[in-house]
Chains A and B, each alone.
Chain A
Amino acid sequence: MTGGAPLRSVPPMTTDSRVVRLDGVRKEYGDTVALDGVSLEIHAGEAVAVMGPSGCGKSTLLNMIAGLDRPTAGEITVHGQRLDTMKEKGLALFRRHHLGMIFQFFNLLDDLPALDNVALAAQLTGTSAGVARKRALELLGELGIADRRNVYPAALSGGERQRVAVARALMNRPALLLADEPTGALDSKAGEQVMDLLLDLNQIGQTLLIVTHDERLAHRCASRLIELADGRIARESALDRVS
């Protein structure tokens, strides 16, 4: 743990242990093929890292799994639900309840302090402000930044911002946590802290999918590595986590 109280375990998922299942997913942008027949499965409690050179389709793969973009062909099932056939509103509700996302550049709302940024995710589901803030404060405490709850993003360090982003992603107890280059914008010390955090989360059962260029992050946090090249899975391998 990186500080604060231990994180509580994630809620039980569907009886099917596969949290993510991609079957022949293809994505084209005009003449460019970003993903070319990708099939993969991620099981509950796994931590999977996706790596590959720029333009290999890593972010496209993440977008497909997050329901942020639609495949040209193929099936995407996350937490037992087909995302490729879902309408926009259904996707939004799915993301709200079952997915958490953290980004390279944190994507926090500059106008809200840390506590309200975290609470926002629950408030969108209709949770009252009081209840949402209470849970947000608990999460910030578990991530060791409760004392920074009233600070605006502009005044937080990079590591603190990413922890706020992680807290927000965990707010609705997601089945799957997606991380897109989570350490890419951080210095080495802050990067280490975020790595520890992700590792802790996975160790208490949180399923993780991490897209990264950072081999250290992959080897530290992931139990499986998927390498992409030209939109295809070039290699899959199990990893021994390095502490």
Chain B
Amino acid sequence: MTAVWRTARAAVRRRKVQTVVIFLVVLMCTTTVVVSIALLDAASAPFERAFAQQRGAHTIAAYDPAKVTDAQLTAAHDGVAEAAGPFRQVVLEPEGPPKPGVSGPMTVVGRDGPGGAVDQLHLWRGRWPSADGEIVLNETPQSDAFDLSIIDETRSVTAGGRTFTVVGWAHSVSGSADAWVTPEQMAALQPTGTQMLYRFSGDVSSRAAVDHRVAEVTTGLPGGALIAAQPYFVIKERAAAQPGTYLPFLGTFGVLGLLVAVIIVGNVVSGAVISGFRHIGVLKSIGFTPRQVVAVYLTMVSVPAVLAAVLGTVLGTLAAEPMLADTFRGLGFGDVGVSAWVQIVTPLGVLGLVLAAALVPARRARKLSAAEAISAGSAPRRGRGLRVQQKLSGTRLPRAVSLGLGLPFARPGRTALTMASLLLGVITVTFAAGLSDSIIRVTEVGERSGRDVGVRAERPDFAPPSQRSDTEVEQLLRGIPGAARVAVAVNREVTLLGDNEPILINFSRAQVAEMGYEEQLLEGRWMAAADEVVAPSQLLNERGLKVGDRLTVEIGGARSTYTIVGETVRGFPGPEGLFAPWRAFDDAEPFDFFYQVQLTEGTDPEAYVAAIRAADPGLLAWNNTGANEFAVVVTSFSTVLAVLLATVAALGVLNTVALNVQERRRDLGMLKSIGMTPRQVVTMTVTSMAALGVVGGLVGVPLGMAAHRWVVPLAAEASKIRLPDYVLQVWDPATLALTAISGVLIAVAGSLLPARRAARLTIARVLHNE
């Protein structure tokens, strides 16, 4: 065993507190960094990742089978890296009312399985069709929190005059079809097109480049063979909006986590080496070479750091995996986990940081002579914060407090690093508190209007529908005890002139405005005339509309013009649609009517739902209250990360106090010898950090508020929603006071343990060991 290893091992054993602190700090920092980088990594390019994993198609091409043969399509492969197809396809019009997973014209493709070289489908529920009459629908996979019984309502689909049994649910990141059947079944459906899925080998970074690749591959095919080609950018742009909502939150926490980790590790490790200067001097005096001294210190900090980095990576992975999986699976990007590179680079990076932080002071000590090193560890310091101490000693504050307030000035560098970590801790707590509050307010906006119970008549293909008219159903709902307000709507997807995409209109009556929709108007007013509509902001943003615009729509072959007179935060539960005044439809079926019931305070929604079912089994009722998935995900993320970062900041404080106590043990002994009580020692020591906590609170709260003010609108913009001002105005005096004292709480939590240790110092040993 070498002298270096023996000495380093002895130092690790002797400095148990320091070793434990380094271990804990590196552990927490590695955990935080793994979570932070994993979040940043997952959120930075989720579409690209899923697209690569599922071998997404750069282009989905539809050919006319009357003009081009399968052999010609297979032979055309200029610039093609991989291709899938030819698959037969047909567009079918679904019959009956909309169902989960079924809306509008459906592109149905015949494929013999979900795999293949291109567009590998994620079959996340059920199985692939194996017989005629079976179909798989395209839908994004649902998170664990999602109630799968909703999609299980869609047991069959009637389209093109045939009824298909839904045997599974799959997701195509390329968006290559709305449903899939067996190739044999497809032949019977009289396909109108042939689908080819291409991955190109050349440049596909722009639409023009993809168009060029398509031109290459279709060169030589009969003219007019290509009916349509959809580049992957269409899907990518649509997909970008969803993780875009999360990106600002995750990015902010990720950056905060990285900063805290770097500062704390730097502070702890460099402090450990600086506090060992006297020891370094002794080593030199007994013959250790400068290189050996550096080696001893690097080994000493590396032992706990390596163990902590490995364990931290495991813990970080365990913490990040469920969060990522739940978030991104729900967005349709597959099971996103912690990348291998994160698991390798993070511990190596943290260890690199540890070694760098140790190397700087160790190299400084290396250059000192033995005598200088020894005196650097114990000699009186000159000129540091002396004037401050002198001023403080003249104040009316209790002496233990004034002495504590002066301590941070004795080590300005260490104080600055501790202050920085406290500041980041306060920023994180403030940001997380504001974020949670905003999310709760956003959720409340939706819940206030969208709760409590939704009702429709049963669909005839599931159960006998209610025989009551819509007016009778409304009366029934009002008559059941607990109903406070009832609204009735009939929705229609209508053609909007000048736009090739239809628009949903909820023709509504009764207490719609009173349910909270009018209260949440962002702009304009509630509709007052038959030709006025009110639109949710998401719909306006997606369609490029604004209050005051006039819309001409075709309803039942007749044109009607509406003026948008107001903008609301949310619409009825479900896909966003316009609110329009009630209009009777002769062809309306019982299940076309949607009823929303708001209950009186204290009424159990489940009991109300049960009462409806008991009163009329032909009515389908469901409870619309419950946790909002987005709110749960964001508040969970922010809480976990805020607690993690605050703990790391507290550990940084603990380390600083432990080092201060170690360095000032002679002063502490003297103070105790002249009558300072243990409580006064604790007061002095805790005050030294609490003062930093106060400053951290005063500076960190405005910065956290600024981050909140900047990030929440970014997320709203990504979601194409507009937030009412009060969603951002979450800062009441009580919240501000709580966040402001978070700095003090972190400081006190971190300093209490070493302060108590300082209070228990054995004076005799300290004073006589000089």
Taking Cβ atoms with an 8 Å cutoff, the residues of A that contact B are 59-60, 63, 66, 68-69, 88-89, 92-93, 95-97, 101, 103-105, 107-113, 116, 119-121, 123-126, 128-130, 133, 152-155, 168-169, 172, 180
Q: Quick one: given A89-B678, A116-B389, A129-B393, are A152 and B382 in contact (CB under 8 Å)?
A: yes
Q: Which of chain A's residues have a CB closer than 8 A to the CB of B393? A: 112, 116, 119-120, 123, 129
Contact call B382/A125, Cβ cutoff below 8 A? no
Interface contact A107-B670, CB-CB below 8 Å = yes
Selecting from B4-12, B138-146, B499-507, B759-767, the interface stretch reads B759-767
Given contacts A59-B768, A69-B762, contact A110 B675 (CB under 8 A): no
Closest to A126 in B: B398
Minimum C-beta distance from B376 to chain A (A): 14
Tell yes or no: B14 within 8 A of A by CB: no
Q: Is the CB of B674 within 8 A of A152?
A: no
**Do B673 and A68 touch across chains, with their CB atoms under 8 A apart?**
yes
Q: How far in angstroms is the closest Cβ of chain A from B312? A: 38
- Give A113 to B763 CA distance when docked, in angstroms: 23
| Contact residues in B for A101 (Cβ distance below 8 Å) | 673-674
Contact B396 A128 (CB under 8 A): yes
Tell whether, in the assembled complex, residue B673 and residue A66 are in contact, meaning their CB atoms are under 8 Å apart.
yes
With CB as the reference atom, state the residue of chain A lying closest to B680. A124
Which A residues are CB-close (under 8 A) to B672?
A: 68, 92, 95
Bound-state Cα–Cα, A1 to B366, Å: 49
Task: Find out whether the CB atom of A112 lies under 8 angstroms from the CB atom of B389.
Answer: yes
In B363-414, the 8 Å CB interface with A consists of: 380-382, 384-386, 389-390, 393-396, 398-400, 406, 409-410
B770 in the interface (beta carbon within 8 A)? yes
B394–A92 CB distance below 8 A: no
Q: Do residues A96 and B390 form an inter-chain contact, with CB atoms below 8 A?
A: no
Q: A120-B399, A124-B399 are known contacts. Are A109 and B670 too (CB-CB below 8 A)?
A: yes
Q: Interface readout for B675-689 with A: 1 if CB under 8 Å, 0 if not?
A: 111111000000000
B70 within 8 A of A: no
B675 touches A121 (CB 8 A): yes
Of the A-B pairs whose beta carbons lie under 8 Å apart in the complex, a sample of 25, sorted by A's number, is A63-B764, A68-B672, A68-B673, A68-B764, A69-B762, A89-B678, A92-B672, A92-B675, A92-B680, A95-B675, A96-B676, A105-B770, A107-B667, A107-B669, A107-B673, A109-B667, A110-B382, A111-B384, A111-B386, A111-B410, A112-B393, A116-B389, A116-B390, A121-B674, A172-B675
Main secondary structure of the interface of B (DSSP, over half): helix
| Residue numbers in A under 8 Å from B763 (CB-CB) | 63, 68-69
- How far is B673's CA from A95's CA once the two chains are assembled, in angstroms? 7
Kindly list 4 other residue pairs between chains A and B, CB separation below 8 angstroms, not including A89-B677, A107-B669, A112-B389. Answer: A63-B764, A68-B672, A92-B672, A92-B675
* Cα–Cα distance between A153 and B670 once the two chains are bound (Å): 14
Interface contact B674-A95, CB-CB below 8 Å:
yes
Count of interface residues, chain B, beta-carbon cutoff 8 Å: 38
B171 within 8 A of A: no
If A129-B395, A154-B382 touch, does A103 touch B767 (CB 8 Å cutoff)? yes
Residue of B whose beta carbon sits closest to that of A105: B770
Known contacts A124-B399, A129-B394; decide if A88 and B678 are in contact (CB<8 Å): yes
Taking CB atoms, residues of chain B closer than 8 Å to A153 are 380
Instruction: Check A124–B675 contact: CB distance below 8 A.
Output: yes
B residues bordering A, Cβ < 8 Å? 380-382, 384-386, 389-390, 393-396, 398-400, 406, 409-410, 666-667, 669-680, 762-764, 767-768, 770
Contact partner of B674 (CB less than 8 A), chosen from A63, A104, A120, is: A120
Residue of A nearest to B409 (CB): A111
Question: Cα distance A193–B675 when bound, in Å?
Answer: 27
B380's partner among A88, A154, A168 (CB-CB below 8 A) is A154
Contact B390 A112 (CB under 8 A): yes
Q: Is the CB of B675 within 8 A of A96?
A: yes
Contact of A92 among B384, B399, B676, B767 (CB under 8 A): B676
Chain A residue with Cβ nearest B765:
A69
Inter-chain contact A92/B385, CB cutoff 8 Å: no
A105-B770, A129-B394 as given contacts; A124 in contact with B380, CB under 8 Å: no
Q: A120 to chain B: which residues have CB within 8 Å?
A: 393, 399, 671, 674
Measured CB to CB, the nearest residue on chain B to A121 is B674
A66 (CB) vs chain B CBs: closest residue: B673
Q: Which among B381, B400, B666, B673 has the highest number of chain A CB atoms within 10 Å? A: B673
Interface centre among A95, A110, A123, A169, by most chain B C-beta atoms within 10 angstroms, is A110
Minimum distance in angstroms from A82 CB to a CB of chain B: 18
Closest B-chain residue to A172, C-beta based?
A: B675
Contacts of A60 in B (CB 8 A): 764
Chain B: which residue is nearest A165 at the CB level? B670
Give complex CA distance A226, B714 in Å.
Answer: 81
Contact status A59-B764, CB under 8 Å:
yes
- State A180–B675 Cα separation when bound (angstroms): 17
B764-A69 in contact (CB<8A) = yes
Give B405 Cβ to nearest chain A Cβ, in Å. 12
Q: Which residues of B contact A116 (CB under 8 A)?
A: 389-390, 393
The 8 closest A-B pairs by CB, nearest first: A96-B675, A107-B670, A123-B399, A63-B764, A110-B380, A92-B677, A68-B764, A154-B380
A133→B394 contact, CB < 8 A: yes
Q: Are A107 and B396 in contact (CB under 8 A)?
A: no
Choose among B385, B390, B675, B768 the residue that contacts A125 (Cβ–Cβ < 8 A).
Answer: B675
Question: Would A107 and B675 be within 8 Å (CB), given that A112-B389, A128-B396, A154-B382 are in contact?
Answer: no
- The distance from the CB of B171 to the nearest CB of chain A, in whole angstroms, is 67
Q: Which residues of chain B are within 8 angstroms of A93 by Cβ–Cβ distance?
A: 675, 677
Give A155 to B386 CA distance when docked, in angstroms.
Answer: 13
Given A68-B764, A111-B385, A116-B393, decide whether A168 and B673 contact each other with a Cβ distance below 8 A: no
Instruction: Give, as a whole number of angstroms, the nearest-CB distance from B741 to chain A.
Output: 28
B383–chain A nearest beta-carbon distance, Å: 8
Query: In whole Å, how far is A91's beta carbon from the nearest beta carbon of chain B?
Result: 9
Q: B residues within 8 A CB of A109?
A: 667, 670-671
Instruction: Specify the chain A residue showing the minimal Cβ separation from B674.
Output: A121
Report how far A5 CA is from B28 CA in the complex, Å.
Answer: 62
Bound-state Cα–Cα, A63 to B409, Å: 32
| Chain A CB within 10 Å, residue with most, of B386, B398, B669 | B386
- Please give me the residue from chain B that is nearest to A153 by CB atom: B380
Q: List, in ascending order, chain A residues with CB within 8 A of B410's CB.
A: 111
Tell me the minimal C-beta distance from B678 to chain A in angstroms.
5
